[in-house]
Chain A
Amino acid sequence: MEWRMVWTTFFLLMALTTIVSYLFHGNGYELIISVSMNLVATTLKLGARRTTGAMTMAASLVADIHLIPAMGVYYIMQDYALAHALAWGAVVANLVSIILLIIEAVLRQMEMEVL
């Protein structure tokens, strides 16, 4: 089993589900957890050699850039509407990450079958 793939998928999905949960409930703790999960997912994608891997990392970075300001906006400026909007941006970025991750998994499976 490829543990790196397992952990990347786990943290990406955790980040996505926690942001969705924040969007429905609006609890700041969920925002902190989603930032943390997303940062871990980005770290796991560091140094990716494949094009799809590099794209997943880029998408994950986009999500980070949405979520970290969202956290700041939520706790410092207390502008909940803006934090909400930024979280939506992170959802889109994370969905792209998940799609890319699926494509990478399929490509890998096909390569393994060829070999």
Chain B
Amino acid sequence: MLGRFRPPIIALILVCTIGVLGLMIIDDYPFLDAIYQTVFTLTTVGYQETHPLSYGGKMFIVALILGGVAVWSYAIGVTVSVVVSEDLIGRIREALMEHKVKSYTDHFIIVGYTDVARQTVKMLERQKIPYVVLDDDSERLKLAESDFISEVLPFNPFRSDSFRRAKADTARGIIVTFPEDADNITVVVTGKILEEEYDKRILIISVASHKEAREKLTKVGADVVILPNELIGQRISAMAIHPPDMEQSSFLDRVAFGEFHGLDIREVVVPKESPLDGVSLKDCGLRRETGAHILGIQRRRRRRILLMPNPETIMNAQDVVLVMGTTHQLKQVNIFLEHQDENE
């Protein structure tokens, strides 16, 4: 972009030099007066000449004024062209966004502003979870603009550098929802490369169009692969088996999908030597200290979840505990575990 301003700058330098030299040679102007006269002639300010001009000098000034007007017109033309064709305002906005993203931590990188991503962004906004959308498709960028999504970096989502600029080193995860499986695989592989590069775990969530694609995405390193059709089918069948009435309005369903404000279910892995390790539900004090409820326990390396466990059930390190509570209570759970760790 800077390169396009070079020709008008060079033209201005040359015209100024010709003006100064011309006035000094033709009418014996002193150096400073020649500069003064040239500058106010070229800028068309129109002050009176500092020394009387000969006929030759007057003709030279006429040529200088015409040259000056031509150079300014050229410079204005280049500036307008840069602003319009190179989308200068867009670039400034992009630079400001990139600067803003630099302060992001624990955010999600949403790759591709697809229909699925639109819903994901809505949910993240509700939960006040920071995110940044990475997409360079003009149609989808227009869609993001119409949705008033400002956290957009218009970079190529298949290049590692774009992820670096989206602060993948401090990100919590990458979410990719392209309709094409090949695109999703490319992004997942990029995410895995960055994971190795930064030596940190990045949660990679992807969608897949069919089961085989899910297997491939899992093999290349996606942590969670969702089949949208399967999910819709499951939800419809759940609705069919337990039709929601107007009063309850599928309460649990909404909680499970995180649509309920202030109430959520989270999985917590029991840390080694934490107050939950080797302690029964009734003795751990989690409910007393935080108010959150333990709904289920998934034993280490087991797929089955033990729902509504007995108060005597003992939890062990690496078990996954399903905790339900308000947003505040779930934050307290983290503090409870950290605090207890410190006491240890």
Question: Which residues of A pack against B, CB within 8 Å?
Answer: 28-29, 32-33, 35-36, 39-40, 43-44, 46-47, 71, 75-76
Contact = CB atoms under 8 A, between A and B. Distances in A.
Contacts of B13: 36, 39-40, 43
Interface string B1-31: 0110010011001101100110011000011
A64 B10 CA distance: 15
A76 B17 CA distance: 18
Nearest to B11: A40
Nearest to A75: B31
Contacts, number: 37
B32 A43 contact: no
Nearest to A47: B2
Given A43-B9, A76-B32, 8 more contacts: A28-B31, A32-B24, A32-B31, A36-B17, A40-B10, A47-B3, A71-B31, A76-B31
B25 A29 contact: yes
Contacts of A75: 30-32
A75 B6 CA distance: 29
Interface of B: 2-3, 6, 9-10, 13-14, 16-17, 20-21, 24-25, 30-32
Contacts of A32: 17, 20-21, 24, 31
A46 B17 contact: no
A43 B8 CA distance: 10
Given A28-B31, A29-B25, A36-B17, A44 B2 contact: no
A78 to B, nearest CB: 10
B296 to A, nearest CB: 57
B32 to A, nearest CB: 7
- Among all A-B residue pairs, the 4 with the closest Cβ atoms: A36-B17, A75-B31, A47-B2, A39-B13
A47 B14 CA distance: 20
Contacts of A35: 17
A29 to B, nearest CB: 6
Contacts of A44: 6, 10
Contacts of B3: 46-47
A43 B21 contact: no
A44 B5 CA distance: 10
Given A46-B2, A75-B31, A76-B32, A29 B21 contact: yes
Nearest to B17: A36
Contacts of A28: 31
A33 B24 CA distance: 13
A98 B116 CA distance: 58
B2 to A, nearest CB: 4
A29 B2 contact: no
Nearest to A37: B17
B6 A43 contact: yes
Contacts of A43: 6, 9-10, 13
A36 B14 contact: yes
A11 to B, nearest CB: 9
Nearest to A29: B21
* Of B2, B20, B21, B31, most A-chain CB atoms within 10 Å: B31
12 contacts: A32-B20, A32-B21, A32-B31, A36-B13, A44-B6, A44-B10, A46-B2, A46-B3, A46-B6, A47-B3, A75-B30, A75-B31
